[in-house]
Amino acid sequence: MSHEVMNGHAPRFDATSGEFFVRDPEKLKVLAHPIRMKILKQAQLGEVSAKEAARDLEEPIGKVSYHVRVLADAGLLELTRQTPRRGAIESHYRATVSMHLDDATWQAVGHDVRRLMLAAAAKEWSADLHAAVETGGFELDEALLANAHFGADAEGLVELRAALDAHYRRLLEIEASIAARMENDPDAEITEVNVGLAFYEGANTPAANAPFFARSGGETYPLIPEYIEDQ
């Protein structure tokens, strides 16, 4: 199964011109910083310069330029072009890897790096979810929000992992077919979507222990804890 750390728009990464899976633990360690992860995500969507990234991330240009150099030195970004800008040169980069990680590499980087990367990803994911709620993203007829908390034996853990792995791979197939249709129909109406999967040992918090499943369009199946209903 691949572990993908994502935020915002799904990456339009060209696997034919770069590594689809990150398999170098040293490269992965470089990404154990939230700003570098964000820069790489931007560079997967298209060319990006330090100036553009600093503007989008609302960070000082000096700080972002440093992180761009670190990513480039590690081979995670490659220079695509340089543009003269008022006596200076603006360098543009693209990603050379996706954020898909194979299991061996994920384990090889060690606990501390994994924790830093997961913390950054969880923070971005949470922010995106809250923004979607505030802006009506879950009013989409096909929208879905669900979680489940239950005990599982060893066999159950394997079954859950296999089911989610198959589901994730199917998502990638659907994304590829959508991209192919979009190329043939540039005027098609596009809805930017975010699909997330998480499978982990629960922290035994009240929120985690409360199952929730709801669809915005069509039928709705809410299982909402009383403390939420009372708000």
* Contact indicator for 65, 79 with CB cutoff of 8 Å: no
CA–CA distances in Å: residue 141 to residues 8, 211, 219: 20, 21, 10
pLDDT at 146: 81
End-to-end Cα distance, the chain: 39
Digit-coded pLDDT (tens) for 31-42? 878 889 889 888
3-state helix, strand and coil shares in percent for the chain, rounded to the nearest 5: 50, 15, 35
pLDDT at 202: 79
Give the residues across from 77 on adjacent strands: 95
φ/ψ (deg, to 5) at 120: -65, -45
Going along the chain from its start, the domains and CATH numbers come out as 3-103 (1.10.10.10), 138-229 (no CATH)
Q: Which residues of the chain have pLDDT under 50?
A: 1-17, 224-231
Q: Name residue, tokens 């079954």.
A: 159
Closest alpha carbon to 13 in 95, 121, 105: 95
* Model pTM score: 0.67
Q: How far is the C-alpha of 224 from the C-alpha of 54, rounded, in Å?
A: 40
pLDDT at 22: 64
